[in-house]
Structure 1
Amino acid sequence: MSLPNAFPIRVADGKTIQMPSLGYGTWASGDTSWAKDATVTALKAGYRHLDCAWFYGVDEVIGQAIRESGVPREQIFVTSKFWPNFGHPENVELCLDKILKGMGLDYLDQYLAHWPCVIQPVSRQALEQANTSPETSPEQRGILLKDGKPVIDWQHSTSNLAAQQNQKGTFVPTWRAMQETVRKGKTRTVGVSNFSISELEELLPHEADIPISCNQIEVHPWLPQNPLIDFGKKHGILTTCYSPFAGQKADGATLLKDPQVNELAEKNGMDVGQLLQSWAVQRGTVPLGKSATPARIRSNLEVRRLGDGDVKVLDGLGLRGDEGRTVDNGPEWGVPFFRN
């Protein structure tokens, strides 16, 4: 039995559309030189789902890759996200407009809130002029700093984050501004990223006719996120998984070199990337693997069903709490985003 090549996600008015079950991640980590050629390779290899974000700084080259690939736009599921300095309700659409202009697209398939907090911008004008080239400072990206750290807008951050600072806040006005972008036809769906169960619960009563399509979180066998994924399934929220291959832990360990993972990959005649992507899809989630190597880009697409025993071994690698979180993910300003 083969694995599904797409999963349904909820859109406006009780309808669903299909999201390809494998996404190609475009996080650039400061260096964007690889992004265009690698994305062209991914699209020609068969990827039909691109995961992007304004903060990645790759909008222009990803747009070029889409056009150079020869794949019709309507066959590609394009996701992007707004960084928290665009999180005030008045600025949500501005970031989407910047993304669409940068990529040369008329619409997104999915628009996500990148984090459950909101950062105060320098000004509206600063946001309009903000760019994400590698050499730009936080201020040039429109981020207001105090003592070298972003200034959090607790009023518009999720209620649980605000409460930790003895503040009152809610993400609902920002969510409603996101819903409005669907009504205007600028994106087909809206969702969130890095939201906990309590943060999803804050938005659920406000879905109205436009639901939470997905929650994008870090997921891999070291960090299986079972309660959060199960909560999403219960409420029709698809989980997409960044860092499906994990990164490097504080002690230098990597999932790609884990002896049990490599043993299972060899047993199944796969490379490690195929194994981890197969595990993710088999769980009913969408992995967003990234590679700039053509051979690995192609092999990461070749997922297939694993035996129940092999799935249990991978499930058993999970650690509790943040112990499984890898050191190359997450913002740098110290807000404790991850709570279940």
Structure 2
Amino acid sequence: MEMITLNDGNKIPAVGFGVFLVPNDGPAYEAVSQALKAGYRHIDTAAAYFNESDVGKAVKVSGIPREEIFITSKLWLQDYGYEAARKGLETSLEKLGLDYVDLYLLHQPYGDVAGAWKALEEAKKEGRIKSIGVSNMTPTIWKEFVPQFDTMPAVNQVECNPFFQQRELRALLDEADVKIEAYQPLGHGDGALLSHPVIVKLAEKYGKNPGQIILRSEIQEGLIVLPKSTNPERIAGNIDIFDFELEDSEMEEIRALDTGKGHHDPEAPGVAEMLLANYKIHD
């Protein structure tokens, strides 16, 4: 597994296993267990995924030393503000059954972001979090909030794939050595990306499936990728991308697929209200 060094000196596996929309009380436990058996050492969950306890259970019974597994979780909007964020982190740690998380993110960029970030900075100093970061920050939102922070985020987790390559954001983050974690790295499940002729041609050339070609291209771009699956064959396949390398001309072909548009617009009016109304992690 390739490791990427973050701007705080910590190392993160380049491929992580995402569990968004994988139910708790069994399915998430089984999926994470499969991922760990397949060789993943980076698991990405969140308070608003409602499956932190399954993730923690799978890690605990895996037999793999805790220090060898990189665990990410995220603070939900309901727990923004300094005091609420401190409690939110403790709740995540309790559900995960862990003393610390390797990476903790502000899941959405709305409300008392500065107060929540201060709580994360303090928890990092206390050793409750190894690295801290943000998610869903566009260049405009980044410029609004990050200048208020004492600590530069280590990562920004955003939608990113060959159809939406986040070029403006990547150029901005490169200035501070902030890494992008790509969610939906294989697109939005509409099949258009996986069946694109450029991707299919490369899959045939390298004896890989289209998803592996896409993930390999993203790794070569320096992204951290978070593919998600509950299919054991796909889980194993998504990490089997380190035995080949795309040529520069092939990378250029994939770069040419960029539309500059994603499915989620964090700047759209009413997004914060919609998220709060649809994802309540506690009363």
* TM-score of the superposed pair, with normalisation by structure 2: 0.88
Task: Describe the shift of the 1:333–1:90 C-alpha distance in structure 2 as closer, same or farther (beyond 3 A).
Answer: farther
Residue in structure 2 matched with residue 217 of structure 1 by the alignment: 158
Q: Paired residue for 1:25?
A: 18
**Amino acid of the residue matched to residue 267 of structure 1?**
K
Q: What is the distance in 2 between the residues matched to 1:331 and 1:227?
A: 15
Distance 2:62 2:183 in 1: 24
Name the structure 1 match of 2:251: 311
Per-residue deviation, residues 311-331 of structure 1 (Å, max 9, x unmatched):
11111111133xx427xx979
- SS at 1:198's partner residue? helix
Alpha-carbon offset, residue 212 of structure 1:
0.8
Q: In structure 2, what residue type is equivalent to 1:289?
A: P
Which segments of 5 or more consecutive residues in structure 1 lack a partner in the other structure? 119-155, 157-170
Q: Counterparts of 1:79 and 1:332 in 2: how far apart (Å)?
A: 26
Identity across the alignment (%): 31
Equivalent in 205, 211, 236 of residue 273 of structure 1:
211
Structure 1's 52 and 333: CA in aligned 2 closer, same or farther, altered over 3 A?
Answer: farther
Q: Contact between 2:56 and 2:95, CA under 8 Å: does it hold in 1?
A: yes
What is the alpha-carbon distance in structure 1 between the residues aligned to residue 63 and residue 269 of structure 2? Answer: 41
Asked if the contact 1:51–1:288 (Cα under 8 Å) also holds between the matched residues in 2, the reply is: yes
Contact persistence 2:165–2:260 (CA under 8 A)? no
Q: Which residue of 1 aligns with 2:104?
A: 111
Q: One-letter code of the match for 1:226?
A: R
- Show the counterpart of 2:142: 200
Distance (whole Å) between structure 1 residues aligned to residue 145 and residue 32 of structure 2: 33
Q: Residue 121 of structure 2: which of 162, 168, 179 is its match?
A: 179
Q: Name the SS of the counterpart of 1:19 in structure 2.
A: strand
Is the CA contact 1:22–1:301 (under 8 Å) kept in the aligned structure 2?
A: yes
Mapped contact 2:162–2:255 kept (Cα < 8 A): yes
C-alpha separation in 2, matches of 1:261 and 1:237: 28
**Contact 2:22–2:28 (CA<8 Å) still a contact in 1?**
no
1:260 to 198, 220, 223: 198
CA drift of 1:333 comes to 8.1
Structure 1 residue 254: Cα displacement? 3.3
Alignment partner of 2:130: what SS? coil
Question: C-alpha displacement at 1:336, in angstroms?
Answer: 8.3
Partner of 2:58: 65
Amino acid at match of 1:182: K
Alignment of 1:285-296 (within 5 A): 285-296=223-234
Is contact 1:10-1:236 (8 Å) kept? yes
- CA distance, structure 2, for counterparts of residue 287 and residue 65 of structure 1: 21
1:91 and 2:113 correspond: no
User: AA paired with 2:91?
Assistant: K
Q: Where in structure 2 are the equivalents of 1:316-327 lying within 5 Å?
A: 316-321=256-261, 324-325=262-263
- Per-residue deviation at 1:190? 0.9
**How far is 1:187 from its partner?**
0.5
Q: Deviations over 1:287-335 (max 9, x none)?
A: 10011111111111121321112111111111133xx427xx9799842
Gaps of 5+ in 2: 274-283
Please tell me whether residue 81 in structure 1 is matched to residue 71 in structure 2: no
CA RMSD of aligned residues (A): 2.4
8 Å contact from structure 1 (residues 32, 57) kept in 2: no
Q: Tell me which amino acid in the other structure corresponds to 1:91.
A: A
Distance 1:247 1:330, change over 3 A: farther
Q: Report how far residue 34 of structure 1 moved.
A: 2.3
1:6 aligns with 2:3: yes
Structure-2 residue corresponding to 1:238:
179
Structure 1 runs of 4+ with >6 Å offset: 329-333
Cα distance change on mapping 1:203 and 1:332 into 2, 3 Å: closer
Matched residues in 2 for 1:269 and 1:186: separation?
Answer: 43
Equivalenced residue count is: 271
Asked if 1 retains the 8 angstrom alpha-carbon contact of 2:137 and 2:266, the reply is no
Higher alpha-carbon deviation: 17-26 or 30-39: 30-39
